[in-house]
Chains A and B, each alone.
Chain A
Amino acid sequence: EAGVTQFPSHSVIEKGQTVTLRCDPISGHDNLYWYRRVMGKEIKFLLHFVKESKQDESGMPNNRFLAERTGGTYSTLKVQPAELEDSGVYFCASSPLMASYYEQYFGPGTRLTVT
């Protein structure tokens, strides 16, 4: 069974540009989470989808970030326009809807560098 995949693995963009990150969860996983780690800080929660619905988006830093999960399969996270402080590693994780409460399976992450 394929794990959680993320694309691209690394993106370097200039301040003001737009970047879209993609996460493909494990097939059949209805829960999908986005997290990020910015330099020197702990990993922080961004948002949680259940199928195509946003269950919790309280961690989204501002309205330059837009997450979607059309059809309840893969998810995209768009940053527009990107700022220097958005640099970091963006992770997604997924779990089945009726998973044990602590189960989450992580993707390898996308390293975003904004110059």
Chain B
Amino acid sequence: KNEVEQSPQNLTAQEGEFITINCSYSVGISALHWLQQHPGGGIVSLFMLSSGKKKHGRLIATINIQEKHSSLHITASHPRDSAVYICAAPGETSGSRLTFGEGTQLTVNP
């Protein structure tokens, strides 16, 4: 069992749909990164969160510390949202390495 598990692995949606990607983790203290990897390979950090909810544009990330679970939501999805979404959990001490999920390949069709 991976220490950071994402679901689903692949997700295809129609433009405008509401998207949810889930991440469960068993490592470290409760905090999480959400990252977006573009088809060209480049990575963008979307959120770092340790409690509650964060929102940036059409993206919303939530975390449930007790359950060690986080979700990434995309509202009004668009084809340009097509990418791999990756969650990563830190270790228990400052400066610890991140442990990554396998990623969710999202394809949004027009």
Interface residue ranges, A against B (CB under 8 Å) = 9-10, 31, 33, 35, 37, 41-45, 48, 50, 55-56, 59, 89, 91, 93, 95, 97-109, 111
Contacts and interface: CB of A to CB of B under 8 A. Distances in A.
10 contacts: A9-B42, A33-B97, A42-B101, A45-B99, A59-B97, A91-B43, A97-B95, A99-B94, A106-B35, A108-B42
Contact of B43 (A45, A59, A95, A108): A108
A102 B103 contact: no
Given A42-B86, A42-B103, A102-B90, 6 more contacts: A10-B41, A43-B88, A56-B97, A59-B97, A102-B29, A104-B90
B98 interface: yes
B93 interface: yes
A42 B95 contact: no
Contacts of A55: 95
A43 B101 CA distance: 8
A109 B98 contact: no
Name, among B4, B29, B43, B103, the residue most crowded by chain A CB atoms within 10 Å (CB to CB): B43
A71 to B, nearest CB: 19
Contacts of A42: 2, 4, 86, 100-103
Interface string B30-43: 01110101001111
